[in-house]
Chains A and B, each alone.
Chain A
Amino acid sequence: MSDRRSCRRSGTSRFGDVNANLKIAVPQIHENGGNGVDRSNGGPPARLTKADLQKRFRWDEFLAEKAITAVAFVSLAAIVLIFVFVFREAAPILAPAKHSTQETVQAPTEEEESYGDEALGEGARKLEQQSASKTSVENSGSEGEATWSNLLSVSWQPVGNQPKYGLWPLIVGSLKVTVIALLVAAPLAILAALFTSSFAPRWSREYIKPAIELLAGFPSVVVGFFALVTLATLMQDLFGYQYRLNVLLGGIAMALAVIPIVYTVAEDALMAVPKFMTEASLALGATRWQTALFVTLPAATPGVFAAVLLGFGRAFGETMIVLMATGNAALFSWSFIEPVRTMSATIGAEMAEVVFGETHYHVLFFIGAVLFVFTFVLNAIAEVFIRQRLLKRFRGAS
């Protein structure tokens, strides 16, 4: 009994076969030892007794295993700590105790404090003030305090006599940039993945995949710098819009960061489609492109969908590119050629200048918490699509 338990204790899936052999060997020797015949003869088998084959308790093995397990907890602890500490700093917003009852409506022109980067054009700054003055009258019920009505207003002006922490311009801004990025990145990346998995000649596949993966290694600051300096001028010349830095530019720059993610995951999913599927299609007389379009792509749909979701999460949380390429004006509008400020860029631009413990500080952490939860949910959904759906589909097929 004890030897079997010791085997089980050491047993993992990987070492299973070794232990199985051991289990068979033990009873045989036990029988020999019980007879006592071999022992008196001094024959070779008698040297091994049951006690010899039993796994001895070793302190060093035990400690090594426990230490490794303990270190493995670091990632788990990190997630928990991120959750706890981001929410802890955001907590005062989630449960606003004080409710300001003052109803003083100040002249909106007094809030001249602009908060953009230096890269932000003068025109954009003016626009920001205009839109702010339009909306400030209706939301002046809860100034200074981050009440829900303040958080859900449509004006973000954290500095001034009446700080306004309306999150809508930031949420809409993040969504606008993300949507543009995905509209550009998803088709390109999926087509490229389809090309690599179905059409590309063998020799070129070994170069295309690493090349696109190399794009993932471009630091986001470099992409942002390229967008800010080169792409912005080019696109303004091309489209002739008023503001140099805007949603469109930020979205296209962001697409460069999203493409490698969507490509890698989509390509993995396309390559994982069982060969008998494509071969059956080809055997039935379908051409290569028909097979790719009507067999491979539909079979890998969950994986491709997961790829787009992961790209969405990346674009939504990316900071440096939007910080540099979108103009950073917290406007509440649906225009795609105006400057915009996203949630992540707001944290990046304002956290360094905020007073610790102030409402503004907590609001920034609240935005971070929202970002965290949002990407968490997206990743979880993508995980379900990759793991469950795709695997089930292929397993069911085979």
Chain B
Amino acid sequence: MKLKRRLMGGSVIGVSTAATLLIIGVMMWMTASIVVGGRETLTWEFLTTAPREGMTAGGILPAIVGTVLLVLLMSLAGVPAGAITALYLSEYASSRSILARLIRFAVNTLAGVPSIVFGLFGLGFFVQFVGTGMDNLFGGVTLKWAQPNVLWASLTMALLTLPVVIVSVEESIKNVPAELRAASLALGATKWQTIWKIVIPNSMNGIFTGTILAVSRGAGEVAPILFTGAAYFLPQLPDSFSSQFMHLGYHVYIMSTQSTNVDATKGIQYATTLVLLMLTFALNLSAIVLRSRMRARQIQ
């Protein structure tokens, strides 16, 4: 009986340890296989030149520029909106008000909507509805805005990453000690002054974390931009909001499934994946470090 119990105890702990190690092991294997595959192709020249010879040679500069442009526009649109929503939820709305609950519900729902549905929405709303509206408004040029472009893709992505920003900023606002607020109010500062001078500077950490996580998500997601702005191949870099763009993730997808000679471009595929992975890895790692520092400060 005792032996049986001990055996079972050992197996429970053993199996759960093995599961944990398996997950981490597969993750490391995945990383290693991509690093090994892409190491040789990944040169400085690869990062700084455009694709050549029907995308079978050359680098990925347009895809890098396109990705950076996308996440930049996305952050400009999404981070302020997300941070202000978090401010509303934690500072202005009382937790029982119907409006606050409704907004919270919307944020949770937004976080669960499949990314491809965001893509459909971007196509149906931004490209078709807003784009056509803008074309009609400005007259003259037809089909300037009513087709996929970097602006619509960024706005779609901003909506997708909104919950990420909101959750992260709200967490850090909650960590601002109530004594600080009380002290500021007791000195005669108004509510808005308190928020502007006390709450926001003290939750900057969370705003950074949220931005980084959102950028990492935005750089990695491909489904929402499939038909809102990403292009297969472009000879020149995007020069206005209404131009299409190349994207690292979309480039990986295209090169590994749609290109005419998949095997010949293996090196490019691996190296592009490696660049994308390093980008998101670095972003996520810095977000994790920032967050753990934030939590450590909270405990003190």
Residues of chain A touching chain B, judged by Cβ–Cβ distance below 8 Å, are 10, 12-15, 17-18, 58, 60-61, 64-65, 68-69, 71-76, 78-79, 81-82, 85-86, 88-89, 117-119, 187-189, 191-192, 194-196, 199-200, 206, 208, 210-215, 217-226, 228-230, 256, 259, 263, 287-290, 292-293, 310, 313, 316-320, 323-324, 344, 347-348, 351-352, 356, 364-365, 368, 371-372, 375-376, 378-380, 383
Contacts and interface: CB of A to CB of B under 8 A. Distances in A.
Contacts of B253: 221, 224, 320, 323-324
A371 B94 CA distance: 33
A4 B277 CA distance: 57
Nearest to A81: B125
B71 interface: no
A119 B257 contact: yes
B117 A372 contact: yes
A395 to B, nearest CB: 17
Interface stretch (B27-35, B52-60, B203-211): B27-35
A222 B260 CA distance: 20
B151 interface: no
B72 interface: no
B108 A191 contact: no
B34 A379 contact: no
Contact of A371 (B26, B114, B191, B273): B114
Nearest to A190: B19
Contacts of A210: 288, 292
Given A119-B262, A317-B116, A319-B114, A219 B249 contact: yes
B191 A85 contact: no
Given A15-B191, A218-B280, A356-B128, 10 more contacts: A18-B186, A58-B190, A69-B88, A71-B85, A75-B85, A191-B16, A192-B23, A221-B276, A256-B27, A317-B117
A214 B288 contact: yes
Contacts of A372: 113-114, 117
Contact of B24 (A187, A212, A228): A212
Interface string B55-92: 00000000000000000000000001100110111111
A289 B110 contact: no
A324 B23 contact: no
B106 interface: yes
B220 interface: yes
B103 interface: yes
10 contacts: A69-B88, A76-B106, A78-B110, A210-B288, A217-B216, A220-B221, A221-B249, A222-B30, A319-B222, A372-B113
B23 A215 contact: yes
B45 to A, nearest CB: 22
Given A78-B110, A82-B113, A228-B256, A217 B281 contact: yes
A82 B121 contact: yes
Contact of A351 (B13, B37, B85, B227): B227
B133 interface: no
B136 interface: no
B124 interface: yes
Contacts of A206: 292
B240 interface: no
Contacts of A287: 5, 9
A12 B100 CA distance: 12
B17 interface: yes
Closest 10 pairs (CB-CB, A-B): A317-B114, A219-B220, A217-B284, A191-B19, A72-B88, A195-B16, A379-B112, A319-B223, A71-B84, A85-B124
Given A75-B106, A215-B27, A225-B273, A347 B120 contact: yes
Contact of B16 (A75, A88, A192, A290): A192
B112 A76 contact: no
Contacts of A82: 113, 117-118, 121, 125
A74 B85 contact: yes
B285 interface: yes
B157 interface: no
A191 B19 CA distance: 6
A375 B112 contact: yes
Contact of A10 (B191, B281, B283): B191
B117 A371 contact: yes
Contacts of A208: 20, 24
A288 B166 CA distance: 38
B115 interface: yes
Contact of B94 (A12, A64, A81, A316): A12
A58 B250 CA distance: 51
Most chain-A CB neighbours within 10 Å: which of B88, B116, B253?
A: B116
Nearest to B251: A221
B114 A15 contact: no
B192 interface: yes
B22 A188 contact: yes
A293 B185 CA distance: 50
Given A211-B24, A371-B117, A79 B257 contact: no
A290 B2 CA distance: 13
Given A69-B88, A195-B19, A85 B107 contact: no
A18 B185 contact: yes
A230 B37 CA distance: 10
B264 interface: no
